[in-house]
Structure 1
Amino acid sequence: MVFRLGRLTPRRFLFFTSAGALFFIFIFSLTPITSPLPPYTGPHEVGILDVETQVQKRVIHDATLKSTGGKAFELNTLAITLYYPSSLPLASPSKRPWARPWLPQPVSLIGEGYARLAGVPRLSFVFTFALWALGSSTVIPGVVDAPILSGAEKVLGEEGAAVGGFGKIMSAAEQEHQELKRDEGFGTLPCMVFTHGMAGMSQSYAHYLGSIASHGYVVAAVEHRDGSGPGTIIHYPDGKERKVWHMKLEALESTSPMTDLDLKAAQLNFREAEISETIKLFAQLNAGEPPVVNLKPHSLRNALPGFQNRLNLSAVTVGGHSYGATGAMQALKSAGSKEMPVYGGIALDPGKGSGPLNEDIDVPILVMQSGEWTEKQTKFYGKGWHFNVVKKIVESVREGWFMTLSGSAHPSCTDAPLIVPWIMKMVTGTTLNSKVALHEYIDTSVGFLEYLQTGQKKGVLESGVTNAEGPFKHDDPREKVQGPHGADWEIHAVPGSGST
């Protein structure tokens, strides 16, 4: 049947022009409901740098793509976004000479990736437009390619800013850092590797990770090439490129038929290899030799030599959200080995459909769940309720914390609730302010990272268990402890609360 518009009568003309005007108003009214990312919570300015380096080529799983015949899980390069403390004085966004767009470029790549993920590849233009409308004006706070933290902040303050301006301050900071490199007495910076969730990207957690960096940590957010994200581009040393899209089971074939759990296992093994390569990159940056070759197009790279002798490779942690939390916990199975020299982990909402969780953990771990993740319980791979499985794992660790941030939702640790707060509140039904939620996550994470270095507990880490039963406590009110920013936490497990 063919739909015919018919004759354009005055009434039809009025209808279509009115509809068009309403559409126009709706699109342009999107801008007020978006918000910029807030400043980071720590005392240091943050440097940002996109890095892609070549790694030893290897195949993690023999599965191939039906569309091309190429290896689906072949590791060629490592792509990360670095967040690190800088010597530069804190500056307002208008005074930062280089801004990192929050959306990766090109936006059309991500739009097509989400359209493929949704099963409507022909509507990629709709997804691209939506991303552009909601995220094109958002930038990640910080300075691209800024010099890494040195003693410059002790001598360059407001007076330096007033005298020489931002450019001269940056030059002075770089010069002083070169002088400090010759001084064997300067300190080193702890490192963290962070792994994103399913359908996420490395920049999806810019405020959380940048804030951790602003407290004196070097954080590498991995852009996974395991087929779990919407889309990414691999850049080879010879200038060639290859696009990696979100992979579904029906798009793959292997010598033996793959199940959904096989796919997840392959992706998690791929992620573990990328985590290991990130730690190797930390070591290469710290050694200064051989120099890191950045394959990322249009990415500045002047700051990389400044990482030499600045990183504390004995203080490396792994963190992740959702699918990434599952991957981070899997990586902790190898903690202490040459390939995985990590000494602690942070898991935000460990995945409920990402495959079974690793139970073999011998290093300190902090598990933080959103209120949504705790309240909406599901059976977990034949081992009981997800909450009870996680609690049992944490209680088996000598130094483990398990807690829930009340009123938060699964995306609350991401940037989405900050950029489109009204939309996310409507979709998730959160009752906790998005900035407060992230501030609580950040302070608790930083407190845990400081504990790993000093052994001193701060904030909610000092609390005892308030509700061991979690969502299954019905007979009495569920006791909570207040966080540093007024939010309520339920503490389910702390060191020594388990039976082992």
Structure 2
Amino acid sequence: MVFQLGHFTWRRVLLFASAVFLFFIFIFSLTPITSPLPPYTGPHEIGILDVETEIQRRVVHDAKFKDTGENAFELNTLAITLYYPSSLPVAPPSSRPWARPWLPQPVSLIGEGYARLAGVPRLSSVFTFALWLLGSSTVIPGVVDAPILSGVEKLLVDESGGASGLGKILKVAEEEHQELKRDEGFGILPCVVFTHGMAGMSQSYSHYLGSIASHGYVVAAVEHRDGSGPGTIIHYPNGKKQKVWHLKLKDLEPNPLMTELELKAAQLAFREAEISETIKLFAQLNAGEAPIVNLKPDSPRESLPGFKNRLNLSAVTVAGHSYGATGAMQALDTAGSNALPINGGIALDPGKESGPLNKNIEVPVLVMQSGEWTEKQTKFYDQGWHFDVVRKIIESVDKGWFMTLTGTAHPSCTDAPLIVPWIMKLVTGTTLDSRVALREYIDTSVQFLKYLQTGEKKRVLASEVTSAAGPLGEPDKRTKIKGLYGADWEIHVTP
């Protein structure tokens, strides 16, 4: 009996020691698995700033939470992450100043949010540990609260190789150093509002958005409070805090009973309200009439006065991925109005289960799909195949592009393939290098944003249609063109 007990004890010790050994092997092997985010693709250093501001309270939908009876879609504050070009010189990778952790704080909030989303709330500590393990060492390149780029500096670092001319530079300098004669007081930095996908977060696309900003654009990534993300915290001016978790139908009062489609419609309406508030914030920053009260804890605000007269409010583009792409396309329904003065839209993998897509689009729009999203066809709300629905919508737009970046998957435009490339490659089965994919997405997006300003089509945007029917046509008629970084694009619709 004693021998058996002793034998069992040693066995337990051996198993425990083996587990610890394997655990440390896993920890130390993370170095080649996780990778730092690469430098941005544009010529400017970027500034990053988390901003949360109080806005006029409104209830977007009258649905209420079952547990508390409170409004589920009440908008009180707007939370965004700003990515913007800075006047600071670009630092080499070895000495580049870092902005903030890639994971939002506290990590436990996001861990619990994903555990709830997965239907296993009791395992929140496991999800939190996994997030910390894979993301704790990742930081977003840039400078927190850096000074914003001036018009003169933008022209001096013009990507055309200095073709702007001294006369143009002096003209901008004169405008910036004297009282502006134009009533609008607009600067020369175009703006972009970005809306994330289902179960995503505002910083999940930091390389894509930061790179766009590094080319001379001010980008606001919205931290949505519509119940589509894993978790977020609302900070009220009186110091009160409120957690917002991922929302499901069972969390709402059954009277009146909502359908899944009605829930998505309410969330998209909430997102549209947040997009509108973001554009209002752009206008407030550009006017510089009143100081912005930043409710985000430990987030500075010294750079905000520098936004005065720097933003081009006649050039505001809305962009999004997946659920956010559906929301971006919906926002284009009222583009050009006073509430949403939007000049164009970028949609990355428009959602397949996010509700019907808006067909009323009168501004230029660019739709970029991943190879996975195009190849795996699904029926779309009794309207036909998803690919065909998207194609017909973009064909009806006066100036629309619809294209596929082959060898990519749905998450290819996010940071995930850059941070854990081998894991994402194994899970998604992508054949295109993750860095090449992001560069192609970024370059085509920047070319589209430039087109909105100049009307000039370059690179992929200048291509003719190579495959109108895509996966629904004959395989031998599906031809491709090369992007700037050598990847294959399949072009379905052009203006």
Tell me what 1:104 maps to: 104
Please provide the CA RMSD for this pair: 2.1
Deviation (angstroms), 1:7: 6.1
Contact 1:64-1:254 at 8 Å conserved across structures: no
Tell me what 1:297 maps to: 297
- Taking the aligned partners of 2:492 and 2:129, their CA distance within structure 1 comes to 43
* Closer, same or farther: CA 155–317 of 1 in aligned 2, 3 Å: closer
Tell me what 2:362 maps to: 362
Tell me what 1:238 maps to: 238
- Taking the aligned partners of 1:39 and 1:98, their CA distance within structure 2 comes to 11
Tell me what 2:201 maps to: 201
* Closer, same or farther: CA 181–135 of 1 in aligned 2, 3 Å: farther
Tell me what 1:322 maps to: 322
- Taking the aligned partners of 1:461 and 1:445, their CA distance within structure 2 comes to 10
- Taking the aligned partners of 1:251 and 1:326, their CA distance within structure 2 comes to 23
Instruction: Classify the secondary structure of the residue corresponding to 1:66.
Output: coil
- Taking the aligned partners of 1:7 and 1:68, their CA distance within structure 2 comes to 55
Tell me what 1:461 maps to: 461
Q: Aligned AA for 1:273? A: A
Alignment of 1:155-194 (within 5 A): 180=176, 182=178, 184=180, 187-194=187-194
Deviation (angstroms), 1:30: 2.0
Tell me what 1:332 maps to: 332
- Taking the aligned partners of 1:116 and 1:6, their CA distance within structure 2 comes to 42
Contact 2:229-2:245 at 8 Å conserved across structures: yes
> Residue by residue, what CA displacement relative to the aligned partner does 1:302-322 show, whole Å, maximum 9, x if unpaired?
000000000000000000000
Normalising by structure 2, we get a TM-score of 0.92
Deviation (angstroms), 1:67: 1.9
Q: Aligned AA for 1:56? A: Q
Tell me what 1:343 maps to: 343
- Taking the aligned partners of 1:465 and 1:145, their CA distance within structure 2 comes to 43
Matched, 1:433 2:459: no
* Closer, same or farther: CA 51–13 of 1 in aligned 2, 3 Å: same
Deviation (angstroms), 1:32: 2.3
Q: Aligned AA for 1:123? A: L
Unaligned 5+ segments in structure 2 are 158-172
Contact 2:112-2:127 at 8 Å conserved across structures: yes
- Taking the aligned partners of 1:261 and 1:446, their CA distance within structure 2 comes to 34
Deviation (angstroms), 1:12: 3.8
Larger displacement relative to structure 2 (68-77 or 390-399): 68-77
- Taking the aligned partners of 2:10 and 2:187, their CA distance within structure 1 comes to 76
Deviation (angstroms), 1:15: 2.9
- Taking the aligned partners of 2:139 and 2:117, their CA distance within structure 1 comes to 25
Q: Percent identity?
A: 78
Contact 1:198-1:323 at 8 Å conserved across structures: yes
- Taking the aligned partners of 1:338 and 1:27, their CA distance within structure 2 comes to 53
- Taking the aligned partners of 1:407 and 1:94, their CA distance within structure 2 comes to 31
* Closer, same or farther: CA 25–181 of 1 in aligned 2, 3 Å: farther
Tell me what 1:15 maps to: 15
Matched, 1:402 2:405: no
Deviation (angstroms), 1:477: 4.5
Contact 2:371-2:408 at 8 Å conserved across structures: yes
Instruction: Classify the secondary structure of the residue corresponding to 1:110.
Output: helix
Instruction: Classify the secondary structure of the residue corresponding to 1:476.
Output: helix
Deviation (angstroms), 1:52: 0.3
Larger displacement relative to structure 2 (22-31 or 8-17): 8-17
- Taking the aligned partners of 2:294 and 2:368, their CA distance within structure 1 comes to 34
Contact 2:47-2:147 at 8 Å conserved across structures: yes
Number of residue equivalences: 473
Tell me what 1:160 maps to: none
Contact 1:63-1:254 at 8 Å conserved across structures: no
Instruction: Classify the secondary structure of the residue corresponding to 2:213.
Output: helix
- Taking the aligned partners of 1:357 and 1:204, their CA distance within structure 2 comes to 23
Deviation (angstroms), 1:183: 6.4
Alignment of 1:135-154 (within 5 A): 135-150=135-150, 153=153
> Residue by residue, what CA displacement relative to the aligned partner does 1:91-115 show, whole Å, maximum 9, x if unpaired?
1355455521111001100000000
* Closer, same or farther: CA 322–479 of 1 in aligned 2, 3 Å: same
> Residue by residue, what CA displacement relative to the aligned partner does 1:210-246 show, whole Å, maximum 9, x if unpaired?
0000000000000000000000000000111000000
Deviation (angstroms), 1:13: 2.5
Tell me what 1:166 maps to: none
- Taking the aligned partners of 1:36 and 1:182, their CA distance within structure 2 comes to 43
> Residue by residue, what CA displacement relative to the aligned partner does 1:372-407 show, whole Å, maximum 9, x if unpaired?
000000000000000000000000000000000000
Instruction: Classify the secondary structure of the residue corresponding to 1:203.
Output: helix
- Taking the aligned partners of 1:393 and 1:485, their CA distance within structure 2 comes to 29
Deviation (angstroms), 1:65: 1.0
- Taking the aligned partners of 2:136 and 2:197, their CA distance within structure 1 comes to 22
Deviation (angstroms), 1:473: 2.2
Q: Aligned AA for 1:45? A: E
- Taking the aligned partners of 2:275 and 2:81, their CA distance within structure 1 comes to 13
Contact 2:59-2:75 at 8 Å conserved across structures: yes
Contact 1:405-1:488 at 8 Å conserved across structures: yes
- Taking the aligned partners of 1:391 and 1:101, their CA distance within structure 2 comes to 39
Tell me what 2:55 maps to: 55
Normalising by structure 1, we get a TM-score of 0.91
Q: Aligned AA for 2:439? A: H
- Taking the aligned partners of 2:451 and 2:154, their CA distance within structure 1 comes to 26
Deviation (angstroms), 1:265: 0.3
Contact 1:40-1:211 at 8 Å conserved across structures: yes
Alignment of 1:379-418 (within 5 A): 379-418=379-418
Contact 2:459-2:484 at 8 Å conserved across structures: yes
> Residue by residue, what CA displacement relative to the aligned partner does 1:20-40 show, whole Å, maximum 9, x if unpaired?
211221133223200000000
Larger displacement relative to structure 2 (358-367 or 12-21): 12-21
Contact 1:87-1:151 at 8 Å conserved across structures: no
Deviation (angstroms), 1:255: 3.9
Tell me what 1:161 maps to: none
Q: Aligned AA for 1:138? A: T
Tell me what 1:257 maps to: 257
- Taking the aligned partners of 1:84 and 1:78, their CA distance within structure 2 comes to 18
Alignment of 1:447-486 (within 5 A): 447-486=447-486
Contact 1:54-1:76 at 8 Å conserved across structures: yes
Q: Aligned AA for 2:487? A: A
- Taking the aligned partners of 1:241 and 1:452, their CA distance within structure 2 comes to 40
Tell me what 1:130 maps to: 130
Contact 2:151-2:188 at 8 Å conserved across structures: no
> Residue by residue, what CA displacement relative to the aligned partner does 1:322-374 show, whole Å, maximum 9, x if unpaired?
00000000000010111110010000000000000000000000000000000
Instruction: Classify the secondary structure of the residue corresponding to 1:48.
Output: strand
Instruction: Classify the secondary structure of the residue corresponding to 1:325.
Output: helix
Contact 2:322-2:349 at 8 Å conserved across structures: yes
Tell me what 1:248 maps to: 248
Tell me what 2:164 maps to: none
Deviation (angstroms), 1:209: 0.4
Instruction: Classify the secondary structure of the residue corresponding to 2:8.
Output: coil
> Residue by residue, what CA displacement relative to the aligned partner does 1:475-495 show, whole Å, maximum 9, x if unpaired?
525200100000000000001
Deviation (angstroms), 1:413: 0.3
Tell me what 2:274 maps to: 274
Contact 1:347-1:368 at 8 Å conserved across structures: yes
Contact 1:224-1:271 at 8 Å conserved across structures: yes
Tell me what 2:419 maps to: 419
Tell me what 2:168 maps to: none
